Structures are given as C-alpha cells and as structure tokens.
Chains A and B, each alone.
Chain A
C-alpha cells in the first residue's frame, strides 16, 4: 500500500495504529519539522558539501591571514567567510566543525545512554539495595563539578576526540538513568512481564526483550536532548583548551582562537557561535518535538 495515500487519507485518530498517529503528529508538529529541516541542512553542509569544495580546512596560507568575510571591506570571494589566524578558509573550517560537533554529540550521547540506561534498568528491575547503590552513584555524579572532572581526566589521559567523547558521555547519563529506572519499575509490574517471568524467562531476557523496547520512546527524547547538551559541553571544553586539539576545527576551539581578535575581527567568534547555536537549536527543537509526538496524551492542533 502506498504510504502517502495512507497518510493523506483523512482517517479518524482512533482507527490509526500508534505509528500512524506518530507520523501524522510529526507531519503537523511545526517545531519538529523546523528542527529536523534545519538539522538536515546542517548535516548536509557538514558532511556532503565539503566533498565538493576543493579547499582543505587545514591548508594554511600565511600571507592571507585574518581576511574578513567577502562582503566586508577587504574581503575576497575566494574566501566567503574570510580566513583565520593561520590563513585557513573559515567557511570550510566551520563546515568541517559541524562534523566534529555532530560526531561528538552523537558519540557522547551514546556513551551516556549506555551507562544511564543500563544502570537505570538494573536499578528499576531489581530495586532494593541495588536501586539504592545506583541512587548513590547518581547523587555522586550530580554533585560532582563536571567541568573540573573533565579537565582532570583530559590532563591525565591527554586530549583526543575519543577521550572527549568518553569524558562527556561519562558526565551526561543521569537523565537516562532517572527515566529508564522509572519506566522499568512501571513496566516490571505489568502483567505480561510477570507472566514472562512465570514461564521461566531469564532476568536478562526480560530486561532486553520486554523492558528495553518499551523504553524506546522516552530514551529517544532524552537522547536527542543530550546530543545538544554534549555538543555544548564539547564546545566549552575546547574553548577552555582542554577539548579538541588544534588544528581540528571544533567550533568551541574556533571561538577560543578568535577571542584574541574580539574587537577587530569579531566574525571569528560570531560565525562559529551562530553555527553552534543553530545546530543545538535544531536538535533541541527536534527533541521537544519527538517528546510531543511520542507522548500518547498530547494533542497537536
């Protein structure tokens, strides 16, 4: 059957399957559509567009340093967004930075999800003292000044993209845990889970087969929002000089490098900042959207 037809057919909400409801909600949710659209554009610019540009983000031309964007006095259309302090094309560096941000955002959110969901399901499923231990770890994590920990670890291990991903991920799992634990507790008491247990399904089987799939929607929402948080964290770390290493063009690093030129070449700060803002904005709007869409209670006018 043709999906488009199916969707355009005016059906009563009650007759639709849950996924149909979601699709329909998604199609009418403005925030979600805007966020997704913007994200797709940024992803295209970050991953696809550089393939068609012959300039490398690492190619330096010291005689062409600190050019302003093309539309400003002294700019040239050879470098649309000007050049940085090492005479590298700023446009390609910002485009490339989208990759770095997205990779780290996704990677860190995955690490966080892995830690948080695992702990959450275990705590929710077993309850009792296990729950209390997990709760204790949670409190420790919440009380820890994250930035200080991150800096110490980066000092210890030395900075690299992988280290940054793991460190940020290891600092952002608390939301996953809280949500996964609450949902697991709820699901565990449901009839079919008790039934599964009665017919001899192992605990691991129940957790992975019955509990996990039911957490999916909520986890996706948290995951999306955490990607945004992780991207901002990476930018902050790089801004402080303990994140991504030069010459890799992380947006936070670009802002830090441009900071010295704050008053005479402010676009070095403004441009990557806007890029960062738009990316996180698109992700957050998508996250908010997914929350509304997957929430069975919500109605979108």
Chain B
C-alpha cells in the first residue's frame, strides 16, 4: 500500500466505470497530478511530515495527522447529536462497504481509548446476509465473521429473508428456504429496476428496525457518507419522496415523536466525504467486502437512482461544491410537524389531506380524463368511483384480491404506492405490514360506525 504519495491524487469517485463491486462508495480512480502547480509538500497540520493526502485539491495532510482528523469529524458528529447515552445498546449496521468497515473500525478504536475519550455505549454489530439476492463469493460470510471475531464485539449475522419474515430470526433458521422464496418472489415480480431498488431499501430498513427491537437496541448507526446521502436526497425527490427527506438522510431520525426510549437512527459518517473514508480505510488497512444491490453493474440509463448518481458525479467535476450544497439543502428540509399518518411500508410521512390543487390530484385527474374523454365533463371524479364500486359488487375472487390491494394502497405513501401497484401478489409482503394495514382498516370502520356520536 505504498503507492500513495503526494503526486498521486485521488481525483474523483466516478462509480461503476472501473470497478463494479464498489458502486456505493464510488470506485476510486487514481490519476497522476501533473506538476504544473507545485503543492506544499509538508502536512499543513504538523508542518514536519511529508504529505500523503491532498484534500479539495489543496490541503495536504500526512498520514499521522489525517487519521485523527477524520476520526475527530466522526466523533464530533456523534457528540453533537447528544443522542447516545452511557451503556446504551447501539446496533451498528455493517454492509461490508468501505464506509461501514471504517465505521466499525472507528467505533472499535473509540472503545479502546483512554478513559476521557472513550466511547461508552454498548455496540451490537449487525451484518445482514443478502446472498440470496446477489451473487456473493461463498466464503464472504465467513470472512465477515472472521472480521467481527477479530474486533471482539458482540455481533449478529442474520439472513435477510429471515429478518424480514421470521419473528424468531435470531435463533432459528427453520423455514429459511420458504422465506428466501418469498423474498425472491417480491423482487422478481418488480421488473422496473428503480422500484426494485426502492423496495430493497425499504425492506432493508424494515429488517434493521425489526432486528434492533429484537436485540433490545435503542439506537441504530448506519455508515452513509455525504456523497451517498446527497445522491439519495436527489433520487428521493425524483421518486416523490421529498417529504421523507429528513427520514432518509437526517443525522438522527426518531421514529416515534418525542419519546426518549424510542428507536433513533444515527448517521455519524454523514459529514465525511467518500474520499476521506477511502483514505481512512487505506491507512488503516481495512478491507471492504462485496456488497451489492440491484443496481450493481447495471447501466446508468436503467434506473432513476443510477441516473441521479451519474448526474451528481458529473456535476461534481465542474462544480466541486455540488455534493455539499445538495447535502446542506437536505439538512434544511424537515418533515411536516402536523403529520398524523405514516406509511405502512416505509414508515415515512403520509401525504394526506392534499389540497385539490396538487400534483397528486392532478395526476388522478389526468388518468380519469384520458379514460373518459368528453364524458369527463358530465361526470365528476366521485361519480366514477361510485360507478366502479357498484361494478365491483360481485363475488369473484379476483375482485377481492384487487380490493385488498386498493385498501393497502390507501395506507401507503405516494412513492410506495408505485411499488405496490407493480407487485403481482401481496402474499409475499411481511405479515406485519399486512396486519398493520388490517388494524388500520378495522379502526377506520369502527370510526365510521360511531362517527355521528363522537363529540
């Protein structure tokens, strides 16, 4: 690893062009800097050592000063949140990416430090094994296990399908084949890559939340960096998830309002750039593992997420402040405080009570008007719904299924509706989601019955 010195500059993380296995962090392209403008050779911090890293094309750091600088940023983000208490159980999610192995390393280092700087929470390291969906080397799980053993922290390796479907996924793997099939069914019936990836993100989140509860953790730490979060913000906007931004990129997301004991997701790496993390991993000899999603090794023209990634990366070349500007814009966006309903699939804010003049209503009207043509003038939107409802009063089983789908969709946010509409069957969804929905409908019916008597 001695190929890093001053005249080698990590210029830009243009993803999936050179190495497809590291799409999430962006593959690293090394390029020799022409000695046009000689840079300072000494580290700007200690002024003694020769530099090893150049940040933002001008700041030179030596290895000894760089690592503490990065660690400090991580500790500052974590400390500022004031969200992790002494002895609290924290679920540390490791996907195998460079970011996540670095997060693990930083936490481990923090736990070893002398008393006044020591991290005092109680980490539980989690690896969700997604090998059923992606082709991983067969020894990957063992290697991850080896890594976790080396750190000597409490850890869990759970199969994705088990985490999604089983209530007892920590202890038994009895129906795993069945679960695997269910999971595969869901993704196979979504042909669109954009929706597939969106669904994967939501199910991952669902699994992590569930495991955190099972493992009695009250905090979750994930390793997304600035670059990744900016791309996520922009693709969220493109998917119609704008109102859920703070949930998906925020530093700390409380999943229930105000309650101190509720589950909070913390993203302590969010102020670090992909480049800083790459070098942190390099200097600490951290190996990352293959971690895929449905977009790995796909073309940029096949999914919204990948198109967004390319757009941000390209813009970053010409306008180096792109990522941080997007990221800071995202920080200023909050969820609606008046929100009362949450999506039963993604737990995001529901966009209820939209005014009649909104994109949502306009889209419905477009669909209606192009089916009704000139008749649209005589009938109003409501009449059509009634008519449809009357037609449906048959006993056919197919209608019933369709009805269930429509009822479920009512409990979903704008973007999740797109996913579920494309699913052939709802049978493979985790049963909590379905039962939550049934509960909601039950309450709705009760309310309907007694509404005239409620004061």
Say whether A associates with B. no
Residue positions of A touching B, CB distance < 8 A: none
